[in-house]
Amino acid sequence: MLGPTRYTKLTANEILPEVRVHLETLRSAYREVERHRAAVALRAHSNGGDPQGGAWTQSSTQLNEELAWFEGRDISIKDVEKGLVDFPAVIDGRDVLLCWKDGEPKVAFWHTPGAGFPGRQPL
């Protein structure tokens, strides 16, 4: 379900510099959480645990804070590792998603909610 915020090509591109910063912080926290998860899995045959548990907690907190930043702006993270982000919008009276992938210079594509990344079309 789409939140109440709707972006235009202009407003999505205006917030894009902030999105890039928060996406990188999100990715960093995500990698740390995954690293700690893997460390715990390797120790599962013994008593488990992670000697760096405090760092795991800090990374998890940061991950949640970054996700909340996106959620608070009704921006969806579709793939953390690929940097795939959707902005809710309206085109021709119907709800769509403006689609941006990290590395692209600007928000320049859209798709219907059901079509996903493979259904991207240029704006």
Each residue of 5-17: pLDDT tens digit? Answer: 999 999 999 999 9
Task: Please give the residue range of the domain that contains residue 59.
Answer: 9-122
- pLDDT above 90: residue 49: no
The interaxial angle of helices 53-72 and 9-42, nearest 10 deg, is 160
Q: Is residue 1 part of a domain?
A: no
* Residue 2 located in a structural domain: no
Contact 67, 33 (CB under 8 A): no
What pLDDT does 99 receive? 97
Q: Is the pLDDT of residue 44 over 90?
A: no
pTM over 0.95: no
Domain membership flag for residue 83: yes
* DSSP symbol at 7: B
Q: Is the pLDDT of residue 43 over 60?
A: no
As for how many domains the chain has, the answer is: 1
